[in-house]
Each structure stands twice: as C-alpha cells, then as structure tokens.
Chain A
Amino acid sequence: DGGITQSPKYLFRKEGQNVTLSCEQNLNHDAMYWYRQDPGQGLRLIYYSQIVNDFQKGDIAEGYSVSREKKESFPLTVTSAQKNPTAFYLCASSGGDRWNTEAFFGQGTRLTVV
C-alpha cells in the first residue's frame, strides 16, 4: 500500500522534553516537508527537504529540528525551545519537479503538551 505514514497519531509530552515525530513514505518522492496546523492559521511550513542529507528552514522553524538520512524518512523533533508546541503536525511529500507537484499528506500527529 503506497503512501505516506506518520506515527504516532497522538502524542503527549511533558514541558521541557524533546519529542520526535515519525514520517515515512514509499512513493519514491524526493521532497518531504512538515507543516504545523493550528485553528484559523492554515498550514505553516516548518522544514523541508528536497534531497537526502539536505534540508532547509521553512517559515516557523524555531524550536524544531529535522534530519534526512534516508530518502524515505524525514523525522521532526519538537524541542523544549518550542514555546507553544501543542498543535496538529502534518508531513507531506511530492516529486519536487514540475511534473510531480501534488503534495501527499500523512494522517497527522496531534501533539499535546501536558
């Protein structure tokens, strides 16, 4: 079954802890990226990667970190420096060229800080 998978679906974190969200795709896509979704804010880009071993900050990267060691995987770490981490996080991937522009989304991870 091809697609993009995020885990876990729900995640609870204590204040001051780092937490890592998983994102895996088997679509052979070059580009992978993370959005944060808050009510009324739309989808805001956190980090993106266009190729293995390379990634760039998006519009709201502060307090987050990523790695892209494999084409299939793009995990996101929410660090203790992120002041308001409670949100819905969406991972997406796309081909990254003009013929493959559709973004395919994972089912999301809802992170709650307790």
Chain B
Amino acid sequence: GENVEQHPSTLSVQEGDSAVIKCTYSDSASNYFPWYKQELGKRPQLIIDIRSNVGEKKDQRIAVTLNKTAKHFSLHITETQPEDSAVYFCAAGSPARRSYIPTFGRGTSLIVHP
C-alpha cells in the first residue's frame, strides 16, 4: 500500500516569513496529491492539490511542487499570517488504489507568531 511521510511535525515561524512542509510517498501509481488544512476544533478542508502531470501549482500565497522522480512534494506558504496557524496534512491518491481516497501524512502543526 501507500505510505506518506511528512516533515516537520511542528513548524514555528514569525508573521511574514515563509513556511515549507515536505512529504514523500512510496507508491509510484499515486497521481493525485492534495493538501488539507485543519484549524483547531474544525474539520479538514482542501486548500490546494496537484496532479502528476504538472510540477508546480500556485494559488495566491500557497504553492505546491511535485517531483515525481523523487516521489516528493512540498507545500510553500509565503507571507504567513496568524490565521495560517493550523495543522496541515499532505496526502496521496491513486485511481487504482481506493478510487483516489487519500492516504494521509501525519500532519504538520504550523504556528505563526504575530
């Protein structure tokens, strides 16, 4: 099956700094890589995703990069704000494995200090 590793487990930054969260996956058949944000006491919500036919995707202050050869993908948040504080999960999905139902990493707790 798929195994998704996520680092770091905790990330503390100052407001305005950039934050980077890195993930690796094991199944070369995975071709869908979503990122979810879970604020304290709330449900996870999709913030951005990338498919294996592209190497990078941006949405305002958030970007994801994918290196298929290395089986590595990353989330980049620029100009961080206190409201970015949350737990972020990377995940991997495959059409052949559970119809894209995501396999999650263990999460990164991002703390943005004002």
Contact = CB atoms under 8 A, between A and B. Distances in A.
Main secondary structure of the interface of B (DSSP, over half): mixed
Interface in A11-70: 31, 33, 35, 40-45, 48, 50, 56, 59
B110 to A, nearest CB: 15
B106 A31 contact: no
A56 B99 CA distance: 12
Given A43-B89, A102-B46, A97 B6 contact: no
A42 B34 CA distance: 14
Interface residues of B, number: 25
A42 B106 contact: yes
A14 B104 CA distance: 30
Interface of A: 31, 33, 35, 40-45, 48, 50, 56, 59, 90, 94, 96-98, 101-103, 105-108
23 contacts: A31-B101, A40-B106, A42-B104, A42-B105, A42-B107, A43-B44, A43-B89, A45-B98, A45-B101, A45-B103, A50-B98, A56-B98, A96-B99, A97-B100, A98-B32, A98-B95, A101-B49, A103-B46, A103-B101, A105-B43, A105-B45, A107-B43, A108-B43
